Amino acid sequence: MKTLVLGGYGNFGARISRALSQDANIELWVGGRDLERATAFAHSLGGGARGVRVDAQSPDLAQGLGFLGVDLVIHTAGPFQGQDYRVPQAVAAAGAHYIDLADGRRFVCDFPAAMDTAFRTAGRTAVTGASTVPALSSAVIDHLADGWQALRSIDICIAPAQGAPRGEATLAGVLAYCGAPIRVWQDGAWTEQPGWARPAKVQFARMKPRRGALCDIPDLELFPARYAGVQSVMFRAALEVGLTQQAFAFLAFLRRTGLLRAPQKLAPLLHATGGVFDAFGTALGGMVVRVEGTDAHGAVARRAWHIAADDNHGPEIPCMAAILLARRLARGDALPAGAHACAGLLTLSEFDPEFVRWGMVTDVVDEAPSTP
């Protein structure tokens, strides 16, 4: 299967390219605007990988993809906040499958309605959000609440290691909603809360507690619809160094008071200077997903799934869903035609070999319910 990774030498794209270059069922093309970088990185992978210049914003992208004869395009060139659908539209017109790592709420949540007809007409599959959220998060929730009578609350927190490599595009996406009002499903109703403000303490199985703050991700909108009866859905990010978490809270304050209108413009500066805090952090990051509801016996239950990723391997996690889906397509295993958000397409057990590959440790903990 001829597979093109857009942004294939970037922070996440490079990881996906490395993984897929070892698959005998995949012919890999590393795509990006810099042909020299794309070619050099492709050669470093071996296995016949090739570099190609691809501009995702080019008006003749569909013709270029058709000329290459690609079967699958994996779009990693973020940030996806504010991005339109010209890339998946071009992929559909070229008659190829499509997977992306989008975490932009509107991009992911509006994707199925916007792109389903184009991909069904082409007889191909398009999957958005094939990343930590909502691909892995939904797989974890399905596992934790399997057999339950009802699911009442979902609480997710991602805690990156301070020393883990960071992409400027990812940082720009995060800053885009810093201090902005975010619609959150709480106590069975929609409310608005400011992004990255009001950090709260979060407990982890194999890491010290951290303070996490609200982030705007697709899960906040997808999960109230996916899990009937759920009353609250929360997602936080907890930075390792307290000073950086406070800095984001301060930027949120400036945004809310009108003193800083576009925090995302600070991404290049913060990306360039962020390394000064690495000495105060570690190489250990992780994630926790907590669910509460009524178990199969009618009792109130609370369960948590934890993952700890050491040696700065945390950034491998957002790449796993796209890798797993690409391998599935390359094996000839069908995925549903049309356009889909990546919730429920993968099971937690499918991720387990990838966790083992990177030395990551997971725990499932039964906790005392917070309410009677």
Q: Omega before 134 cis (within 30°)?
A: yes
Model pTM? 0.92
**Token couple for 252:** 């949120």
Rounded-to-integer distance, Cα 264 and Cα 350, Å: 35
To the nearest 10 degrees (0 to 180), the angle between helices 61-68 and 86-93 is 40
- Among 169-183, 188-202, 293-307, 318-332, the least confident range: 169-183
**Distant-in-sequence, close-in-space partners of 59: CB < 8 Å, separation ≥ 6:** none
In this predicted structure, the answer to whether residue 256 has a pLDDT above a threshold of 90 is no
**Token couple for 208:** 């010290």
Task: Using alpha carbons, select from 180, 321, 189 the residue that is nearest to residue 263.
Answer: 180
Task: Using alpha carbons, select from 117, 112, 362 the residue that is nearest to residue 226.
Answer: 112
Rounded-to-integer distance, Cα 106 and Cα 309, Å: 29
Report, as an integer, the average pLDDT of 213-220.
95
Rounded-to-integer distance, Cα 172 and Cα 289, Å: 25
Under 8 Å between Cβ of 70 and 94? yes
C-beta neighbour count of 78 within 10 angstroms: 25
Higher per-residue pLDDT: 164 or 282? 282
Q: How far is CA 358 from CA 34, 314, 316, 352, 354, in A?
A: 30, 9, 8, 10, 7
Q: Omega before 88 cis (within 30°)?
A: no
In this predicted structure, the answer to whether residue 372 has a pLDDT above a threshold of 70 is no
Under 8 Å between Cβ of 131 and 322? yes
In this predicted structure, the answer to whether residue 59 has a pLDDT above a threshold of 70 is yes
Rounded-to-integer distance, Cα 178 and Cα 133, Å: 19
Q: How far is CA 44 from CA 1, 5, 8, 11, 83, in A?
A: 20, 15, 13, 16, 31
Rounded-to-integer distance, Cα 301 and Cα 295, Å: 6
pLDDT, position 278:
73
In this predicted structure, the answer to whether residue 307 has a pLDDT above a threshold of 70 is yes
In this predicted structure, the answer to whether residue 287 has a pLDDT above a threshold of 90 is yes
In this predicted structure, the answer to whether residue 25 has a pLDDT above a threshold of 90 is yes
Amino acid at 276: V
Average pLDDT, the chain: 93
In this predicted structure, the answer to whether residue 42 has a pLDDT above a threshold of 80 is yes
In this predicted structure, the answer to whether residue 13 has a pLDDT above a threshold of 90 is yes
What percent of the chain has a predicted confidence (pLDDT) above 90? Answer: 76
To the nearest 10 degrees (0 to 180), the angle between helices 317-330 and 13-21 is 40
**Distant-in-sequence, close-in-space partners of 359: CB < 8 Å, separation ≥ 6:** 309, 310, 311, 313
Rounded-to-integer distance, Cα 119 and Cα 38, Å: 28
Residue 79's pLDDT band (cuts 50, 70, 90):
confident
Rounded-to-integer distance, Cα 8 and Cα 20, Å: 11
